[in-house]
Amino acid sequence: MITSMTGFGRGEASKNGLQVTVEIKTLNSRYLDISTRMPHTIQDKEMSVKEIVQNHLSRGKAIVNINVDKKASAQPKITFSSEMLKNYTEMLREMKAEAGISEPLKITDLFNFDDIFESRKEDEKSIEIIWDCSEKALKSALISLNKMRQKEGKELENDLQKQINNILLLLDDVIEQSDKKTPDMRDKLKQRIIKLVSDENFDPDRMEMEVAILVDKMDINEEVVRLKSHLKFFLEALEGDGPVGRRLNFLCQEINRELNTIGSKANDSSISHNIVLCKENLEQIREQVQNIE
């Protein structure tokens, strides 16, 4: 079964009121290219994230987004500096005494000093919980992603089989047209030989060369055999296991090569027309193959 390189997956995991959501989006790419967006608290786990992704994907551009939601933990994002609070409190008391103010000191008086507050730093246990949830959510997202990629891959496979079968039907028609054309080509070859032999400047080497050229132009059997072989390998690759995108891309190049050769040999409008139709199908195949892992 083939796998598409485009897809989307989402996974979630929670613990101690903390929830982690991981979303993965994949796009076409010649190689595996992984980019991450994750909280700074687990930034040192970036390589671990990429290793997990590499175990599930072989090609494509993967964008991994890890989001941590702490709302359910009821833990504020900020805290205060005890040392700064003490210093400002002492300073305000001294200012009141110096100014002769008798009113008591209120907590709101301290809110004017922004540097009392600071972002809450994660302790080791919290970081461990975040990473544990992130890892679980990541693996869940990858499973979801691959299900989507495989589903799309099945649709691609059906379409590719249809396009290949179209080429095979057109190729059968090309063979039939070529067989009908063979007697005419033989007559032309015979007339050409008679003309060369009757010429007073008859050159055996020239005749041998022209006969070889005409015979080569007549025979497309070798190209047809190779083309059918490539088409057979293509269909077999679609049903194989593992990533086959590069192999299918190579086979597309070989199929195109044989079609070009047959088209150049065909001195017949119906054969040329069928070859054009074959190449139209091949172009659609090429576009689809670019999306296969």
1 in any annotated domain = no
State both tokens at 33.
């290219």
The domain that holds 40 is classified in CATH as 3.30.230.70
Considering the domain architecture, whether residues 107 and 138 belong to the same structural domain is answered as: no
Considering the domain architecture, whether residues 15 and 144 belong to the same structural domain is answered as: yes
State both tokens at 132.
């544990």
pLDDT at 186 over 70: no
Considering the domain architecture, whether residues 111 and 172 belong to the same structural domain is answered as: no
Which range marks the domain in which residue 42 is found? 7-73+123-150
Predicted pLDDT of residue 41: 87
104 in any annotated domain = yes
Considering the domain architecture, whether residues 227 and 281 belong to the same structural domain is answered as: yes
Considering the domain architecture, whether residues 172 and 223 belong to the same structural domain is answered as: yes
Weakest mean pLDDT among 136-145, 158-167, 199-208: 199-208
pLDDT band at 116 (very low <50, low <70, confident <90, very high): confident
Question: Which one, of 144, 130, 139, 121, lies nearest residue 20 by Cα?
Answer: 130
CA dihedral 36, 42, 44, 47 (to 10 degrees): -40
Q: Tell me what the mean pLDDT of segment 2-16 comes to.
A: 93
Predicted pLDDT of residue 285: 96
Considering the domain architecture, whether residues 13 and 100 belong to the same structural domain is answered as: no
Considering the domain architecture, whether residues 140 and 27 belong to the same structural domain is answered as: yes
pLDDT at 20 over 60: yes
Considering the domain architecture, whether residues 209 and 188 belong to the same structural domain is answered as: yes
pLDDT at 190 over 90: no
Considering the domain architecture, whether residues 87 and 133 belong to the same structural domain is answered as: no
Domains of the chain: total: 3
214 in any annotated domain = yes
Q: Give the Cα separation of 240 and 237 in Å (integer).
A: 5
Q: Tell me what the mean pLDDT of segment 38-67 comes to.
A: 94
pTM over 0.85? The answer is no
Considering the domain architecture, whether residues 165 and 224 belong to the same structural domain is answered as: yes
Query: In Å, what is the CA distance from 212 to each residue of 102, 189, 205, 258?
Result: 118, 10, 11, 20
Considering the domain architecture, whether residues 83 and 178 belong to the same structural domain is answered as: no
254 in any annotated domain = yes
2 in any annotated domain = no
Considering the domain architecture, whether residues 193 and 145 belong to the same structural domain is answered as: no
Quick: pLDDT tens for 55-92. Answer: 999 989 999 999 998 765 556 666 677 788 788 788 88
144 in any annotated domain = yes
Predicted pLDDT of residue 113: 78
Q: Which residue has tokens 């009113």?
A: 103
Predicted pLDDT of residue 55: 94
